Amino acid sequence: MSDEILIAGAGIGGLFAALSLHRAGLPVRVFEAAPTIEPLGVGINVLPHAVREFDELGLLPALRSQGVACRELAYCTKRGERIWSEPRGLAAGYRWPQISIHRGALQTLLLEAAAKRIGLDRIHLGHRVSEARTAGDEVRLSLVDPEGGRLPDARGRLLVAADGIHSAVRRIFYPDEGPPSWNGAVMWRGVAAAPGYLDGHTMIMAGHPERKFVCYPIGHRAEQPGHQLINFVAERRVEATELEEREDWTRRADPNDFLPLFEGWNFGWLDVPALIRSAESVWIYPMVDRDPLPRWTHGRITLLGDAAHPMYPIGSNGASQAVLDASALTGCLLAHAHDPEAGLARYERARRPSTAQIVKANRGMGPELPMLLVEERAPDGFESLEDVISHEELQSIADHYKQLAGFSVAELNARPSLSDPRTWSDDDD
């Protein structure tokens, strides 16, 4: 029997898991459905608790050099008035920065590290996992190529399914789950090379749930000094609750479809319509998630990242939670080195309840709740913000979400890496 840990999916979660397990001395093999890894997507945030795990793998310098450290997050009204702002990353007292980065750059960085450390011969592109089962003390995978042709089966000690929101492995255990659920919000996402705004390190959320604009810098272009690559998400909520097309991160859109919704949003310090107009391309994506599962682990197979807990992209948690899963998985398998099934069970106890809480909190708007409250209480503006919402109310919403998502400053700064087996001895649950 092969003692390899098989990983389905070479996205952010799968590649991070491969690197983390490999560093711990556990042999891995990755199967990715796509025939090539293209730098797809737009911006993504890696929160300090996940950056810490990159640091553990020696990847912090690469992450820093590819992205932009986010120092502040500001919530604003649709007129650009500030409701709440808070320091982020190092400025907030964390020992690790928050990094905003292009998803493609992040995936490429992980792939390059994996190629160097693990070897490309263990990363099989164009290998889609179609079936998976536990047989005694091993797992067996059926694999197909991009044309649907059968490839030789794979065998290993465990399977970690990091195959994203449309996970084929999840479907084996939950065949009746159906498509992800949609909350009626449509997101137009793009990246524009534009003059920097504010200090060049600030993430902005403006508006309210019906119409929202989010932007943050994710990089630079040497040939355009004074400009930054600015990621944006323009969001609108519609009445429909059934998707006409399956969501896909690669569906292009026309900026004129949503530009009129934001036409008046020039705040002086940030010109939203100009930013949208300078985007090279725009993609449309619906806001979807799935209900938390009662169980991730079946025999020697478990789920990780979006396959386990797809969540609304609120609070910048999608990629970060996948990274935390991966590190915790390594720590738990090391803590139960002689009993991998106990290791998987420990991993699930560690990660399933906490990620389910985030899925639910994001449905309730998570840390963006003040934007809704201010719009409801003062849709036509205000003289003093204090008349609309108190500082205490704002603080308690922000603190509550940070606690929930596991990124409270003191706790993160004090605890060891999640890949440390001492964190996961059995006595602490």
> Whose Cβ is closer to ligand FAD: residue 32's or residue 375's?
32
**Phi, psi of 181, deg, nearest 5:** -95, 145
Count the alpha carbons within 13 Å of 302 in the hemisphere toward its beta carbon.
29
Nearest approach, Cβ of residue 275 and ligand FAD (Å): 17
Nearest distance from residue 247's CB to ligand FAD, in Å? Answer: 10
Smallest gap from Cβ 410 to ligand FAD, in A, equals 27
Minimal distance, residue 308 CB to ligand FAD, in Å: 8
Q: CB of residue 249 vs ligand FAD: minimum separation in angstroms?
A: 3
Radius of gyration of the chain from Cα atoms? 21
CB of 33 to ligand FAD, least distance (A): 4
What does the alpha-carbon distance between residue 197 and residue 297 come to, in Å, rounded to a whole number?
Answer: 46
Measured from the CB atom, is 160 or 394 closer to ligand FAD?
Answer: 160
Measure the CA–CA gap between 19 and 259, rounded to whole angstroms.
Answer: 41
What is the Cα 323 distance to its own chain's centre?
8
Residue found by looking up tokens 């907030």 in the block: 92
**Of 295 and 377, which CB lies nearer to ligand FAD in the complex structure?**
295
Q: How far is the CB of 11 from ligand FAD (least distance, A)?
A: 2
Q: What is the contact surface with ligand FAD in residues (CB under 6 A)? A: 8-14, 31-34, 40-42, 44, 103, 128-129, 162-164, 168, 189, 249-250, 305-307, 313, 318-319, 322
Quote the CA–CA distance of 158 and 379 in Å, as a whole number: 54
- Residues in CB range of 152: below 8 A, 6 or more apart: 143
Q: Which is nearer to ligand FAD, 314 or 373 (CB)?
A: 314
State in angstroms the smallest separation of the CB of 386 from ligand FAD. 34
Of 107, 175, 174, which is closest to residue 323 (Cα–Cα)?
107
Residue 264 beta carbon to ligand FAD: minimum distance, rounded to whole angstroms:
27
CB-closest chain residue to ligand FAD: 11
Residue 360 and residue 73: Cα distance in Å, rounded?
22
Q: At what angle do helices 103-117 and 12-23 cross, to 10 degrees?
A: 30
The CB density around residue 415, as the number of other CB atoms within 10 Å, is 13
Q: How far is the CB of 106 from ligand FAD (least distance, A)?
A: 8
Nearer to ligand FAD, 128 or 290 (CB): 128
CA distance 147 to 126: 9
DSSP label at residue 97: -
Rank residues 332 and 373 by Cβ distance to ligand FAD and give the closer one.
Answer: 332
170 or 300, CB closer to ligand FAD? Answer: 170
Nearer CB in complex with ligand FAD: 14/97: 14
Q: Is 298 exposed, middle or buried (0-12, 13-18, 19+ CB in 10 A)?
A: middle
Query: Closest CB to ligand FAD among 82 and 251?
Result: 251
Return the number of the residue (9 or 340) whose C-beta is nearest ligand FAD: 9
| DSSP, residue by residue, 301-369 | EEE-GGGT----S-SS-HHHHHHHHHHHHHHHHHHTTT-HHHHHHHHHHHHHHHHHHHHHHHHTTGGGH
